[in-house]
Amino acid sequence: MISGSKKQNIKYYFLAILTAVAILVWSAVWAEDRGGILTVAFLNVGQGDAIFIDAPNGNQVLMDGGPNKTVLKELSAVMSFYDRSLDMLIMSHPNLDHIGGLVEALKRYEVGTAVDSGASHSIGEYAEWKRLIANNGVKYLQGSSGVRIHLADGVYLDVLSPKKGEPLQSKNINDVMLTARLVYGNTSFLLTGDMERTLEYKLVDGGSALDATVLKVGHHGSRTSSSEYFLNAVHPKYAVIQVGKNNKYGHPHQEILNRLQAAGIGILRTDTDGRIIFRSDGKNLALEK
Ligand SMILES: [Zn+2]
């Protein structure tokens, strides 16, 4: 009797495992096809940037990670529970409010490729970023203007800055920021990190394609960014500000909010709106409520 009931238990145990495996396989197959939809999620990580990109073929990118582990909770809300990998991490620049969460993502996820501008920093998180890339066998790509990253059919990310070959260490870190423009058909996203006026002017004057449906507002809405000259070139429908509640910098600055509003741009903020998710089919852009 005892051995009989043990056998029953073992049988159920295996059945349960097989069923679970079948569900995982089928949801993985299903998950690879996003029905032609690109998702871009501006994660709510407090004072810092973290942008999750999910391409129509299932390729996943995280650009910046906010200051700490908060990004892991945010990622688990926008990724499948069994998904333990990210195809690419991109770092705009090595300040804590951008790199902190990227280091956490490197510890938690299997990462394919890591991209940064090549600008280094003395903070420990930068050393850890380099160490984890080397130790975990992550491919490394130095991003500069002219680099195009193909994410899926018709979906690509153009690196706009820094300029290829430009000296990185002698300059203000915000002037050699890795910025990028994500394009899918008629819809586009300009991802600016903490870019300030100097780089904004340089990009406009250099003739970079800057027009975008969604602008990730530079430097958390600081008055040192979002010049009128730049906003006119980008001409966005939406402006997303990634910012922490009651942050010590007073971001976003009121004059920038006024400027965006006067230009008729819809303002979205992670401190008041929480996580902000856009979906694009290449023609139309929808803001998820
Ligand atoms: Zn920042």
Q: Return averaged pLDDT per consecutive 10 residues of the chain, 289 residues in all.
A: 44 48 49 86 98 96 98 97 95 98 98 96 96 97 94 95 89 93 98 97 96 98 98 98 97 98 98 98 93
Distance 27 CA to ligand 1 centre (A): 36
In the chain, the amino acid numbered 113 is T
Residue 193: closest CA among 61, 97, 59, 68: 97
Distance 81 CA to ligand 1 centre (A): 29
Distance 12 CA to ligand 1 centre (A): 52
- Are 176 and 162 in contact by the 8 Å Cβ rule? The answer is yes
Distance 14 CA to ligand 1 centre (A): 50
Distance 223 CA to ligand 1 centre (A): 13
Distance 7 CA to ligand 1 centre (A): 59
Distance 28 CA to ligand 1 centre (A): 35
Report how far residue 128's alpha carbon sits from residue 107's, in angstroms, rounded to the nearest whole number: 10
Q: What is the pLDDT of residue 5?
A: 44
Tell me the pTM: 0.89
CATH fold for domain 35-288: Metallo-beta-lactamase; Chain A (3.60.15)
In the sheet where 148-152 sits, what is the strand order? Answer: 148-152, 155-161, 179-184, 187-191, 214-216, 238-241, 266-269
Distance 219 CA to ligand 1 centre (A): 5
Distance 225 CA to ligand 1 centre (A): 12
Q: What is the pLDDT of residue 4?
A: 45
Distance 97 CA to ligand 1 centre (A): 5
Distance 31 CA to ligand 1 centre (A): 32
Q: Which residue has the tokens 């100097």?
A: 198
Q: What is the pLDDT of residue 21?
A: 52
Q: What is the pLDDT of residue 31?
A: 52
Distance 277 CA to ligand 1 centre (A): 20
